[in-house]
């Protein structure tokens, strides 16, 4: 949670505060600045299967520590950039490092929890809930120190928090005398996946077998289309609200409102996944994404930030534990991290398109709204996709 929180403050949510200052200093078109995040998605697609394999091979702690080191190095580099290629390289380093660290957590959580896995994953993914509260402070920090000094300071803070946190991670409970949930080692089986019965702890299918199932491709399509929304909104959230008349401080505060309300999705969805048909839960989350985007493109006053943040936050926050639960329940735990990583590489195309789309939209039309509407239309098409999954696969 601490590592997720730290990178969310500086990079995943907070980088929106750096977007305009960097673009202005170098006089880059918005598509150039946003394009770095499309390149980031390419890198993520290439490195995600590798980090998944490394987690299965070496455990979550070692991968998380290496990821934190690489991500911190990239943040330092961002404070020193002089050319566009420097910017792209550093964004890739931060993405590779933070992505590797974050990919390590779901496997460890799944290994330690069985009975209330949905809630455990929801809680684990809740680190960024309070991150948005710090984004307005980033705006003040950038105004006081300049964006370069602010970025260098934040790199130090991230390293100070995340290295000790990574050292605390334990990949599996068995070496410490426990089974999942603190049960004795070798206690009751975990349940079923892909129609199989008595799939015990550590059982499951491999990546090749998973790739041959319809479930893999349906789940990948669901999360790929869903990811269009956050990929399009997050990097330009502050500039977008400024473009519709908000002050820089008010625009930054919308990130805080969003992240806090996303906690409802993260924690609430974990509870729903443990109790209800997971297909219907996913349908509901996609519908929330859609409603949130439609509110966003019609924002005209500050009160409308709340329904946008509530709907979009529930959809975004809820998908974080949901993805992990669907992968585990469909394919088992034995190669969870590798399958999780491979699915990330399959969905990368969606993440590449979204940042370019918003950059081009602003450069060509003077507004981000056309890009948001295109993303909303694609999400609307995807809403029924979860019903293609068979219910017995998700028990």
**Residue for token pair 């088992």:** 332
Task: Print burial letters for 71-101: b (CB count within 10 Å at least 16), e (below 16).
Answer: bbebbbbbbebeeeeebbbbbbbbbbbbbbb
Task: Provide the β-strand partners of residue 332.
Answer: 204
Model pLDDT, residue 171: 81
Q: What is the pLDDT of residues 158-211, one digit of tens each?
A: 999 999 999 888 888 888 888 777 877 666 554 444 443 433 445 667 778 888
Kindly state the average pLDDT of the residues 80-97: 84
Give the DSSP letter of residue 53: H
Whole-Å CA distances, 189 to 18, 47, 333: 48, 32, 12
**Residue for token pair 């000790």:** 164
Q: pLDDT: is 62 or 38 the higher one? A: 62
Model pLDDT, residue 192: 42
The CA distance from 191 to 117, in Å, is 12
Q: pLDDT: is 248 or 75 the higher one? A: 75
The CA distance from 101 to 278, in Å, is 27
Model pLDDT, residue 300: 80
Q: Is the pLDDT of residue 273 over 60?
A: yes
> Residue 275: phi, psi to the nearest 5?
-125, -25
Model pLDDT, residue 234: 75
SS3 204: strand
**Residue for token pair 């948001």:** 372
> Residue 336: phi, psi to the nearest 5?
-55, -50
The CA distance from 55 to 333, in Å, is 12
Model pLDDT, residue 114: 78
Yes or no: say if 60 and 109 are a contact pair by the CB < 8 Å rule. Answer: no
Q: What is the pLDDT of residues 344-367, one digit of tens each?
A: 777 777 777 777 777 777 777 877
Q: Kindly indicate the confidence band of residue 286, based on its pLDDT and cuts at 50, 70 and 90.
A: very high
Q: pLDDT: is 74 or 319 the higher one? A: 74
DSSP code string of 278-319: HHHHHHHHHHHHHHHHHHHTT--SGGGHHHHHHHHHHHHHHH
Q: pTM of the entire structure?
A: 0.66
**Mean pLDDT over each residue of the chain, to the nearest integer:** 79
Model pLDDT, residue 291: 92
């Amino acid at each position: 949670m601490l590592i997720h929180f730290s990178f969310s403050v500086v990079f995943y949510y907070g980088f929106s505060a750096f977007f305009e200052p960097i673009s202005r200093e170098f006089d880059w078109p918005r598509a150039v600045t946003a394009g770095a995040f499309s390149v980031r998605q390419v890198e993520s697609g290439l490195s995600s299967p590798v980090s998944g394999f490394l987690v299965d091979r070496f455990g979550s702690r070692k991968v998380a520590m290496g990821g934190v080191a690489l991500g911190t190095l990239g943040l330092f580099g961002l404070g020193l950039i002089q050319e566009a290629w420097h910017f792209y390289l550093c964004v890739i380093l931060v993405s590779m490092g933070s992505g590797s660290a974050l990919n390590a957590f779901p496997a460890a959580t799944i290994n330690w929890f069985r009975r209330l896995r949905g809630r455990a994953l929801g809680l684990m993914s809740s680190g960024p809930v309070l991150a948005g509260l710090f984004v307005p402070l980033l705006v003040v920090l950038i105004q006081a120190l300049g964006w370069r000094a602010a970025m260098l300071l934040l790199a130090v803070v991230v390293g100070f928090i995340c290295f000790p946190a990574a050292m605390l991670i334990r990949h599996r409970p068995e070496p410490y005398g426990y089974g999942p949930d603190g049960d004795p080692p070798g206690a009751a089986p975990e349940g079923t996946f892909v129609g199989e019965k008595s799939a015990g702890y550590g059982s499951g299918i491999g990546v090749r077998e998973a790739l041959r199932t319809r479930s893999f491709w349906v789940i990948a399509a669901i999360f790929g289309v869903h990811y269009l929304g956050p990929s399009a909104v997050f990097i330009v959230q502050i500039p977008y609200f400024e473009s519709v008349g908000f002050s820089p401080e008010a625009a930054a505060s919308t990130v805080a409102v969003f992240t806090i309300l996303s906690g409802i999705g993260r924690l609430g969805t974990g509870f729903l996944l443990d109790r209800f048909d997971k297909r219907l839960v996913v349908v509901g989350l996609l519908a929330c994404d859609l409603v949130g985007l439609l509110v966003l493109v019609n924002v005209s006053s500050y009160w409308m930030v709340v329904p946008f943040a509530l709907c979009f936050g529930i959809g975004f926050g809820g998908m974080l534990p949901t993805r992990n639960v669907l992968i585990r329940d469909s394919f088992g735990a034995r190669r969870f991290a590798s399958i999780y990583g491979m699915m990330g590489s399959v969905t990368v195309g969606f993440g590449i398109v979204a940042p370019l789309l918003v950059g081009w939209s602003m450069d060509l039309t003077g507004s981000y709204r056309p890009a948001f509407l295109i993303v909303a239309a694609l999400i609307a098409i995807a809403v029924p996709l979860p019903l293609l999954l068979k219910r017995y696969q998700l028990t």
